[in-house]
Amino acid sequence: MKKTIIPIILLAFVAMGAQAQTQNPKGLYKLTEIVHQDGKHIEAPYRQYKYCLDDVTLMFSYDPSPFITAPFDFSISNPDGKPLRLTGELSKTENKGIQIIGTSDSTFTLRWFNDRAFNEHLFPSNTNIDEVYELVKDSTDRIQRALNVLTMKNLKKENRLHGAWKLRGWQKDNIATTQYWINRSEKDQYIIFGNNGTVSFTANEKFPKANLSCHYAPCKYLSDNVVDMKEMTFMINWFDYETISIMTLDNDGRPIVSVWDRCGLPENYRQVFGSSQAPMTKDLSRFMNDEFEKRYGTQPDSIRKAYETYNYAVDVNEKNNAIFPVLMKCGFENEYKVMKNALLEELMNGKKSADEAVAHYTFWFYKNFDRHTNCSAYAFWALQQECHPDYRKLIGNYAPEPVACLVDKETYLLRLPSCEGDVPTEEWVEKKAEEFLQSGCKYLILDLRGNGGGSDHISLIFTKFMCDSGSMTDEDYFYRVSAENDKRLAMVCETAPGNFFDRVLEESKAAEDGSLINWISFRKGGEMKPMVRKGAIIIDGYSASAAETPVRFVHNHSKTHAKVYGRDNTLGCEQTGNCHEVRLPHSHITMRYPTTVDDIFEHQCRLRNPGYKPDVIIPLPYPKQLTDNIDPWVLWVAKDLKKK
């Protein structure tokens, strides 16, 4: 048996060897030595590589240096004009063109005939020259590191800087915090950030037929905003996850600011290196100096500042506001674009100031969809008045105060003018809850008129007493991923570690910029036991945010025990939340927007009528006073609760 097995094994090895020698070179190979026709071996005095692909073979080369971790320049060329294919040995002495011989799993020999007289010591003329190449397996090899960056292999998703960026141009005044007034780059320059290094180059549309000059620099990411590039330090400012500025210092210590956009490599480069990063499609014209002057001519500094203020407000809202992608999805895109462009034209024609343009822009969102989207522009406050009843005129003495008392022997009233936790405090509300439970009252009125919001926990303490069901529908809340929002969320995580905020921030690192990801969810089900026979919530147009939460809560947790009373919609802040504020440049204006949005907003926004409607319209005029009194509305509701 043993004598028959051994020949079979030997035949197998011979077959494997023969198979290996029929394979075309594939991968990155390094030139190790040069062999003359007379058998003389010379170690290669320069650094040359062959990157063998199915459709093309590229040559990488660079000047040797004793500093392996230092930045270096390298070139990529295509001298053969076609991919290397195994030929076998055609001749040792005759000129048979390019011969690829001796191919194995890790080596091949490239034979070529030197018919020119140059460097006779290295390349004797009129003889065949053998170049011996070995497959690169060393991950620290310089060209291998550069190639890993070019192909964007194994990039860590949590580092937003990773990938390819295209130079937009140079900021006119070298201000790192603005992406406007850019002097356009005359050439298409790219930089690719890899895990431990960068490659930069100027694109050539004829590549790979034409040569490409590149620069590799090892790098270390010290933070999201600082990159050590060995040669220099990059200070990164994020406008959003698709646009950054890079500030460096010249030899005299003066700042130089360039602006870059995330962008896939040109198609001819993607075909070679296989990158799947999508090309950039956004219109950059409004950021460019030449485009501004082409459209508006030479303008004074005041007009240029107003232009930037307005466009900055648009950028902030489009990139960060949680409701924006929902509105675009729901069919408001055309109307929005017409509104936005019309305001810009009015601004540039002198018909509106920056304050007025920003105010009207923000008001479109505020009036139709969400009251958390607002701004501090003076003109905005004037516009805002048309959306809300003026209770101080309609009622006179409109100053709701905390009240907890019996309306009659069966009905308990809690007037809650705020959920901020100061007037009243959470402890006061908890104490009154115990008092109510001890009272034996069968009816409960929660009066939320004038309550501008605060903590949902405070507003729901009494709300739960009038609920008779577990959650009847699923509830999902979403977070808008953006550089500005993540910056705010990171600060929240620092002040409240171990909360679900940590999960959201971690998930945002791998999510697409501008996308909506899960914030928190509540599944239907569970059980709630009512503590009253009937309950009522009284609302008005100033009931906002946390004061609107009880309305949504009873709609989802009460089948028969609770109703909402009033005459006006609530303010319209409950379906969004976790707001952030951004100061606009060249102005006093602060813009405010929500970073989270609820699932029901997609339905509600189509109605263009923010806020919750009362279930029961109170058929009385507005009371003459609303302070710490039991007003006619409360008495009417108390009576209505007792109807069968």
Residue 374 belongs to a domain: no
CA angle 472, 476, 480 (to 5 degrees): 165
pLDDT at 275: 79
Let me know: does 73 contact 215? Beta carbons within 8 Å: yes
| Residue 183, domain CATH | 2.40.128.280
CATH number of the domain bearing residue 457: 3.90.226
Identify whether 504 is part of a domain: yes
Which residue type is seen at 640? D
With respect to residue 339, please indicate whether it lies within any of the assigned structural domains.
no
Total of domains in the chain: 3
331 belongs to a structural domain:
no
Query: Per residue in 128-145, pLDDT tens?
Result: 999 999 999 999 999 999
One domain for residues 432 and 459: yes
Whether 112 and 153 map to the same domain: the answer is no
CA 577 to chain centre: 18
Nearest Cα neighbor of 50 from 85, 34, 26 is: 26
10 Å CB burial of residue 294 (0-12, 13-18, 19+) is exposed
The confidence score (pLDDT) of residue 25 equals: 92
Q: Say which amino acid occupies 542.
A: Y
Max intra-chain CA distance, the chain: 117
Which secondary structure element, helix H or strand E, spans residue 109, and what is its range?
Answer: strand 107-114
Closest alpha carbon to 623 in 605, 637, 603, 609: 637
Which amino acid makes up residue 78? Answer: N
Residue 564: the pLDDT is 98
Residue 486, amino acid: D
What are the 10-residue block averages of pLDDT along the chain, 644 residues in total?
40 40 86 95 93 94 75 92 90 92 87 90 93 94 95 82 96 96 95 95 94 95 92 93 95 95 93 86 94 95 97 97 98 98 97 98 97 97 92 94 97 98 97 97 98 95 96 96 96 90 94 96 94 97 96 96 97 94 97 97 95 97 96 98 90
Bridge partners of 193, per DSSP, are 163, 198
Residue 208 confidence (pLDDT): 94
The answer to whether position 408 is within a domain reads yes
Residues 6+ apart with CB under 8 A from 92: 37, 128
Q: What is the per-residue pLDDT for 202?
A: 97
Q: How many CB atoms lie within 10 A of CB 578?
A: 19
Q: Is residue 311 part of a domain?
A: no
Query: Which residues, listed in sequence order, are joined to residue 376 by a DSSP beta bridge?
Result: none
Residue keyed to tokens 């307005």? 310
pLDDT of 7 reads 42
Both 113 and 152 in a single domain?
Answer: no
Distance CA 523, CA 444 (A): 27
376 domain residue, yes or no: no
Indicate whether 599 and 472 sit together in one domain.
Answer: yes
Q: Which of 287, 312, 331 is the last residue of a domain?
A: 287
Q: Are residues 601 and 470 in the same domain?
A: yes
Domain check: are 450 and 574 in the same one? yes
Residue 94 shares a structural domain with residue 167 = no
Task: Let me know if 272 is exposed, middle or buried by CB neighbors in 10 A (0-12, 13-18, 19+).
Answer: buried
Domain membership of residue 540 as a residue range: 391-641
Whether residue 213 lies inside any domain: the answer is yes
Query: Each residue of 493-504: pLDDT tens digit?
Result: 999 888 899 999
| Final residue before a domain boundary, out of 287, 316, 334 | 287
128 and 154 in a single domain? The answer is no
In the listed set 263, 287, 311, which residue is the last one of a domain according to the structure? 287
How much is the pLDDT for 467? 97
CB neighbourhood size of 259 (10 A): 26
**242 and 116 share a domain?**
no
CB 66 within 8 A of CB 167: no
Query: What pLDDT, on a 0 to 100 scale, did the predictor assign at position 555?
Result: 95
476 and 606 inside one domain: yes
pLDDT score, position 12? 40
Do 528 and 596 belong to one domain? yes
Domain co-membership, 460 together with 596? yes
User: What's the pLDDT at 66?
Assistant: 62
